[in-house]
Homo-oligomer: A and B are copies of this chain.
């Protein structure tokens, strides 16, 4: 997938610049928290979520700045969630993207506050006039991101995940958990372009359906990597789910079953994009990519 690889790299570079801009520490009242915010946000990650914003925005002819700022806001949310997720009281991870987690590199209090600050900044970025000329679009971007990231979205999923350490989930419950925990932000990335471009309800729905399948395929692939990957390639500890006695798609469906299901979902995701022309081709390739990736 030479096109996709190049497009992902280009998008990541642009998002990196936008993140660097919105995280400018000039005249900051307190330098250390900016260091922590920049440490965890800049210089890493596939930037898959903002890539989806850029791609979905491209379907509706949205200008670059609105798409980049919206993508950056989404990535800020993703990054904050990793910082808090890694905390000792949560997943207690020492390694993230191949380097020490924020509470290891700095300290726990700084990690809590840096996460809070990244979360808050996402909404400052979305609400600002530079993000879109139409304030109704900006307000809509804010509300949908808050829903996707909040208690009926990502955070709700994280809470179910916590509970899963003490009770056994079945396939339906795992699916619900992952739709919230990882699926909600991916869905936001896909529908953000439709919001920015004031797309029809049908266009937005097609993207949401695509995102739903993509998100699950992504998570199943993640579970497969946790079983089959190695720490060097993935940049994080592996085998953690099994060690924690957690059910995953792989523990419930087996390696082969999980791989088949991920492939089926990727196919279906592609079929959801039928209403769109060749401008959706990279999104089609993305569905393949997430199930084939090695990290």
- Could you tell me if A89 and B108 are in contact, using CB atoms closer than 8 angstroms? yes
Q: For residues 216 through 267 of chain A, which have their beta carbon under 8 Å from a beta carbon of chain B?
A: none
A34 within 8 A of B: yes
Number of A residues near B (Cβ < 8 Å) is 55
In the assembled complex, which residues on chain B have CB atoms less than 8 Å from the CB atom of A162? 109-110, 113
Report the bound CA distance from A112 to B159 in whole Å. Answer: 10
A119 to B123, CA, bound (A): 11
What is the interface of chain A mostly: helix, strand, loop, or mixed? Answer: helix
Q: What number of copies of this chain does the assembly contain?
A: 2
Q: Are B120 and A30 in contact (CB under 8 A)?
A: no
Contacts A109-B162, A127-B139, A135-B135 hold; do A121 and B151 have CB atoms under 8 A apart? yes
B contact residues around A202 at 8 Å (CB): none
Q: Which of B28, B107, B157 has a CB less than 8 Å from the CB of A156?
A: B28
- Nearest residue, chain B, Cβ from A151: B117
**Binary CB contact string for chain A from 160 to 185 against chain B (1 if under 8 A, 0 otherwise):** 10110000000000001000100000
- A123 and B121 contacting across the interface, CB-CB below 8 Å: no
The segment from A1-9, A62-70, A142-150 found at the interface with B is A142-150
Is A140 located at the chain interface by the 8 A CB criterion? yes
15 contacts between A and B (CB under 8 A): A28-B151, A30-B159, A30-B160, A33-B155, A84-B113, A89-B108, A89-B112, A90-B109, A90-B112, A117-B151, A121-B151, A123-B143, A135-B135, A135-B138, A139-B139
